[in-house]
C-alpha cells in the first residue's frame, strides 16, 4: 500500500457543556471524539458511520480544519495539519474540501452560481479568465447547464444545489473531499443521481473521499472501507464486504439489522437494539456499548476494550467479538 | 372501492393559495383502508402525501381547500362536517402522530399532563384518573420507569422517548384509525426500528387501522399490508405490498425501487431517475411522469392516464400492460 494521504492519530475533541445560561455552574466536559485513529490511502473512499452524537461530524470538521482537536494529530500528505489546540490551514489550502449536508444553507444566496464556484479559485490567486474557463468545465462535470451560470442558488432544486456544492469543492483541484451527510437531505431519486456523480468524480479525478453518513446503505454503496463510531470512538473498521457480510462488533450487527430493507420478505438477522444512547457527557465505564449489549460480561462493565486487528484490515473494539 | 372500507377517500382534489392563483396540490386522490389494515402512502417531497393526511384531519388551514371528492370515514363524509363535528372525531376516532416530536409537544408542560389532557378533553375523565391512565399509557409505549417520568418535561427526554409520548397521546382514546406522518424520519435507525415495532404491536393488539406516510420504502416494507405510491399530487399505483415490491407496474415505482442503495448487497451503479420532481405550480401536462419516463410515448405527452383498477391493484399508466420496458432494459 502506498503512503497514506491522510493520517489521523488518537484524535480527541471535548466541548464544554451544560454550563448554564449565566455560566455559574462549571460545565461538564462532553467528550465528542475519543481516541480516533485511521488512515486514508490515495484514491480511497472511507465511510464514517454512526448515529446522532457519535462524533462523526466532529471528526469531519477537524479533518478539514474548521475546529482544532483537543488532543492527537492529523497528518495530510506528510505534513502535520492539526495537533492539540492547533490547526494549520495554510498547509491544506485548496487541497482539502468539504461538501455539506444542507444545500439550502451552505451556498451564499447573494452570489450567482458562477461566482460561488469561482470563489475558491480566486482565493488561490487564479486569474479571472482562467477561473471562468474552469467554472464552465466544472459545471459540465457535475451536470449543470451553461445557462445556470448567472442564476442564484434559490432558483435550484436540492439536487442541483448539491451539484453546485460539489463543483465548488472540486474547483481548487483538491486531493481530499470530505462529504458530511452530503446526500441525506435529498429525495431518493435525486440521492441516486448525486451518489453516481460522486462515484464518477472520485474515479475520474482519482480523488480521496471521507464520506460521513448515518445511512449504512449509502455508505456500503460508495465506500471501500468503513469505520463505525459509537459514543466518540471507532468500534469497528473494515473493508466494505467484511463489515457488511461478517460484522464482528455487536453494535455494527445491530445497526445493520435495524436498517429497513425495501423488501417485504426481509427479516433482520439479529434482535433489535434496546434502550437509548448513553449521555455523552457521562460515558459509561468500561465498554461504551455495554449497557445495550446482548453479550456484555462483567469485564465489559469495567475494562474498556481496545481496537484490535482480528483479521487483516478488520479492527474491532470488543472483548467478545464475533 | 370496497364497501367494507373503514376509510374511503374518493377523487380528492385539494388546492392552496389565494382566490386568484390557487394551486392544485392533490388531484383525484382515491384509496381505501379496511379496519385493522396498515396502508403505506409513499412519495417524495412535494408528492402530496402529507397534504393528504392534513385533508383527512381537516387541518388544511386558511389557505387550503378541498375542491372535490369525499372522505368517507365509517360511512360519514368528513369533508362535509362542521369544525365542531370534526372536533369529536379528531384525536378520538382518528388520531395522528407527526415527524417531529420536539415541536409537537408543549415544552412547558410535563409529558404526563399532556397525555392526561387528551383523556380529560375527549373522554371527560377526572384529573386523578387521567394522570393514572397517562402513566399506564406511557408504560404501554415502552417508556422505562413510566410512573416516575410522568412529571418529566419534553426536553428531559430523548427523541425516541418523545416520539413514544406522542404515540401514547395518539392512542389514548383508542382510535380506530391512526395517521402516522413520517413518524421515524427524525430518529436514528436503531430507534426507528423500536418505534416501528411499537406501532406494529399496538396496531395488532388494538386492531386499529394505520395510514403510514413515509418517503422510505424500507419502512413500508416493514409495516404495511398495502401501499399507495404518490407522484406529483396523484396516486400512480397501489396494491398489496408484496405485489407492488415484486412486480411494480408503474415506471416510477419500478425506478424508485431500483434507485435505493441496499444495505444487504452492493450494487455496481444505482439506477437514478433523471430530472427532478415537478412543482405543483408547474405540473407537466398529460401524464405527470412523462418528462422523466424512459418509456414515454406520444399518448403519454398528450393525454392523462386514469387510475385503472384490476382486481386488488391500481395503476395510472398508459403502458402498464406492455410488459418489460423501461426501454427494453439494455445494460
What are the residue boundaries of the structural domains of chain A, listed by start? 6-95+174-316
Which of A192, A216, A240 is closest, CB to CB, to B271? A192
- pLDDT tens digit string along A208-262? 999 999 999 999 999 999 999 999 999 999 999 999 999 999 999 999 999 999 9
Closest to B218 (Cβ–Cβ): which among A259, A265, A277? A259
Q: What is the rounded CA–CA span in Å between residue B312 and residue B36?
A: 17
B135-177 pLDDT, tens digit per residue, is 999 999 999 889 899 999 999 988 889 999 999 999 999 999 9
The span from the CA of B236 to the CA of B315, in Å, is: 6
Contact flag A188-B256 (C-beta cutoff 8 Å): yes
| pLDDT tops 60 at residue B133 | yes
- Contact status of A258 with chain B (Cβ, < 8 Å): yes
Q: Are A56 and A50 in contact (CB under 8 A)?
A: yes
CA distance B45 to B278: 10
Location of C-alpha cell 411522469: B289
With an 8 Å Cβ cutoff, are A262 and B220 in contact? yes
Rounded Cα distance, A82 and B244, in Å: 52
Helices vs strands, H then E, count in chain B: 12, 12
Residue of B nearest to A144 (CA): B275
Q: What is the pLDDT of residues B57-70, one digit of tens each?
A: 999 998 999 999 99
From chain A, the residues in CB contact with B190 under 8 A are 51, 254-255, 258, 272-273
The pLDDT of residue A18 is: 59
Is residue B277 very low, low, confident or very high in pLDDT (cuts 50, 70, 90)?
A: confident
Residue of B195, B244, B255, B261 to mutate when probing chain A, most A C-beta within 10 A: B261
pLDDT category, B302, cuts 50, 70, 90? very high
Residue A70 φ then ψ, to 5°: -80, -30
Residue A300: C-alpha distances to residues A285, A287, A320, B201 (Å): 9, 5, 9, 33
| DSSP states along B76-113 | EEGGG--HHHHHHHBTTTEEEE-S-HHHHS-TTS-HHH
User: What is the predicted pLDDT for the residue at B322?
Assistant: 80
Q: Give the contacts of A153 (CB within 8 A, at least 6 positions apart).
A: A104, A107, A108, A109, A111, A113, A116, A161, A164
d(CA B40, CA A267): 18
Share of chain B above pLDDT 90, in %: 76
Q: Which residues of B touch A274 (CB under 8 A)?
A: 194
How close A181 gets to chain B, by Cα (Å)? 14
**For position A21, what pLDDT does the model report?**
55
Chunked in runs of 10, what are the mean pLDDT values of chain A (322 residues)? 90 79 61 95 96 92 95 96 93 91 84 94 92 94 92 90 94 95 89 94 94 95 97 97 96 94 88 81 90 94 96 97 93
DSSP structure class, residue B183? T
What pLDDT score was predicted for residue B134? 96
Residue B76 has pLDDT above 60, yes or no: yes
How far apart, in whole angstroms, are the C-alpha atoms of residue A127 and residue A318? 54
Residue B99 pLDDT grade (very low, low, confident, very high; cuts 50, 70, 90): confident
Q: What is the pTM of this model?
A: 0.91
Return the CATH superfamily for domain A6-95+174-316: P-loop containing nucleotide triphosphate hydrolases (3.40.50.300)
**A 235-254 residues inside an 8 A Cβ radius of B:** 240-241, 244, 254
Q: What is the pLDDT of residue A25?
A: 53
- How would DSSP label each residue in B264-326? SS--SS--PPPS-PPPGGGPPSSSTTGGG-TT--HHHHHSPPP-EEETTEEE--TTTTS-S-S
Domains belonging to chain B, first-starting first, are 7-93+175-274 (3.40.50.300), 105-172 (no CATH)
> Around Cβ A70, how many Cβ atoms within 10 Å?
18
Extended strands (E) in chain A: 6-17, 28-40, 45-49, 71-76, 79-83, 86-87, 96-99, 176-180, 208-213, 225-230, 233-239, 308-311, 314-316
Closest A-chain CA to B144: A275
Residue B1 clears pLDDT 80, i.e. is over it? no
Flag whether pLDDT at B102 surpasses 90.
no
Q: A192 contacts in B (CB within 8 Å)? A: 259-261, 270-273
Residue in chain A nearest B226 by alpha carbon? A264
Q: Do B218 and A258 touch (CB under 8 A)?
A: no
> What average pLDDT does the structure give for chain B?
92
Q: How many CB atoms lie within 10 A of CB A186?
A: 22
Amino acid at each position: 500500500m502506498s503512503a497514506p494521504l491522510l493520517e489521523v492519530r488518537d484524535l480527541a475533541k471535548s466541548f464544554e457543556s451544560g454550563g448554564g445560561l449565566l455560566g455559574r455552574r462549571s460545565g461538564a466536559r462532553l467528550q465528542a471524539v475519543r481516541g480516533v485513529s485511521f488512515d486514508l490511502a490515495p484514491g480511497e473512499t472511507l465511510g464514517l458511520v454512526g448515529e446522532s452524537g457519535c462524533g462523526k461530524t466532529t471528526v469531519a470538521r477537524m479533518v478539514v480544519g474548521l475546529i482544532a482537536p483537543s488532543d492527537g494529530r492529523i497528518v495530510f500528505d506528510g505534513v502535520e495539519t492539526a495537533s492539540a489546540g492547533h490547526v494549520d490551514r495554510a498547509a491544506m489550502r485548496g487541497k482539502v474540501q468539504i461538501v455539506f449536508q444542507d444545500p439550502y444553507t451552505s451556498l451564499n444566496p447573494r452570489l450567482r452560481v458562477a461566482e460561488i464556484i469561482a470563489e475558491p479559485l480566486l482565493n488561490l490567486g487564479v486569474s479571472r479568465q482562467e477561473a471562468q474557463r474552469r467554472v464552465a468545465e466544472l459545471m459540465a462535470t457535475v451536470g449543470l447547464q451553461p445557462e445556470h451560470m448567472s442564476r442564484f442558488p434559490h432558483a435550484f432544486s436540492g439536487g442541483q444545489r448539491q451539484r453546485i456544492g460539489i463543483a465548488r469543492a472540486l474547483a481548487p483541484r483538491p486531493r481530499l473531499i470530505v462529504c458530511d451527510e452530503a446526500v441525506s437531505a435529498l429525495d431518493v431519486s435525486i440521492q441516486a443521481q448525486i451518489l453516481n456523480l460522486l462515484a464518477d468524480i472520485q474515479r475520474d479525478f482519482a480523488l480521496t473521499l471521507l464520506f460521513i453518513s448515518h445511512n449504512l446503505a449509502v455508505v456500503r454503496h460508495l465506500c471501500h472501507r468503513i469505520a463505525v463510531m459509537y459514543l466518540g470512538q471507532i468500534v469497528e473498521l473494515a473493508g466494505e464486504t467484511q463489515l457488511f457480510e461478517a460484522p464482528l462488533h455487536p453494535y455494527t450487527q445491530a445497526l445493520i439489522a435495524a436498517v429497513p430493507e425495501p423488501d417485504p420478505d426481509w427479516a433482520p438477522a439479529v434482535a433489535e437494539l434496546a434502550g437509548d444512547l448513553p449521555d455523552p457527557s457521562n460515558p459509561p465505564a468500561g465498554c461504551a456499548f455495554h449497557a445495550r449489549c446482548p453479550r456484555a460480561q462483567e469485564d465489559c462493565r469495567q475494562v474498556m476494550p481496545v481496537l484490535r486487528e482480528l483479521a487483516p484490515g478488520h479492527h474491532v473494539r470488543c472483548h467478545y467479538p464475533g | 372501492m370496497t364497501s367494507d372500507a373503514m376509510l374511503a377517500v374518493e377523487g380528492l382534489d385539494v388546492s392552496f393559495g389565494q382566490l386568484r392563483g390557487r394551486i392544485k396540490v392533490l388531484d383525484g386522490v382515491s384509496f381505501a383502508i379496511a379496519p385493522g389494515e396498515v396502508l403505506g402512502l409513499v412519495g417524495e417531497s412535494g408528492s402530496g402525501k402529507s397534504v393528504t393526511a392534513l385533508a383527512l384531519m381537516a387541518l388544511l388551514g386558511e389557505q387550503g381547500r378541498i375542491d372535490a371528492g369525499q372522505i368517507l370515514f365509517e360511512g360519514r363524509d368528513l369533508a362535509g362536517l362542521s369544525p365542531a363535528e370534526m372536533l369529536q372525531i379528531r384525536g378520538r376516532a382518528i388520531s395522528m402522530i407527526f415527524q417531529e416530536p420536539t415541536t409537537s409537544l408543549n415544552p412547558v408542560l410535563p409529558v404526563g399532563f399532556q397525555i392526561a389532557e387528551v383523556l380529560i378533553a375527549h373522554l371527560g375523565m377526572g384529573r386523578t384518573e387521567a394522570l393514572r391512565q397517562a402513566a399506564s399509557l406511557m408504560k404501554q409505549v415502552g417508556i422505562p420507569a413510566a410512573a416516575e417520568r410522568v412529571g418529566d418535561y419534553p426536553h428531559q427526554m430523548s427523541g425516541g422517548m418523545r416520539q413514544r409520548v406522542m404515540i401514547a397521546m395518539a392512542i389514548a382514546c383508542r382510535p380506530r384509525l391512526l395517521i402516522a406522518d413520517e413518524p421515524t424520519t427524525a430518529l436514528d435507525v436503531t430507534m426507528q426500528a423500536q418505534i416501528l415495532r411499537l406501532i406494529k404491536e399496538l396496531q395488532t393488539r388494538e386492531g386499529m387501522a394505520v395510514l403510514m406516510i413515509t418517503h422510505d420504502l424500507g419502512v413500508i416494507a416493514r409495516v404495511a399490508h398495502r401501499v399507495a405510491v404518490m407522484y406529483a399530487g396523484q396516486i400512480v399505483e397501489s396494491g398489496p405490498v408484496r405485489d407492488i415490491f415484486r412486480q411494480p407496474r408503474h415506471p416510477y415505482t419500478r425506478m424508485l425501487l431500483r434507485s435505493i442503495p441496499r444495505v444487504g448487497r452492493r450494487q455496481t451503479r444505482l439506477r437514478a431517475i433523471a430530472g427532478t420532481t415537478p412543482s405543483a405550480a408547474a405540473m407537466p401536462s398529460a401524464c405527470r411522469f412523462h418528462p422523466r419516463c424512459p418509456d414515454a410515448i406520444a399518448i403519454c405527452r398528450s393525454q392523462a392516464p386514469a387510475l385503472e383498477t384490476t382486481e386488488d391493484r391500481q395503476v395510472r399508466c398508459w403502458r402498464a400492460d406492455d410488459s418489460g420496458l423501461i426501454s427494453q432494459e439494455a445494460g
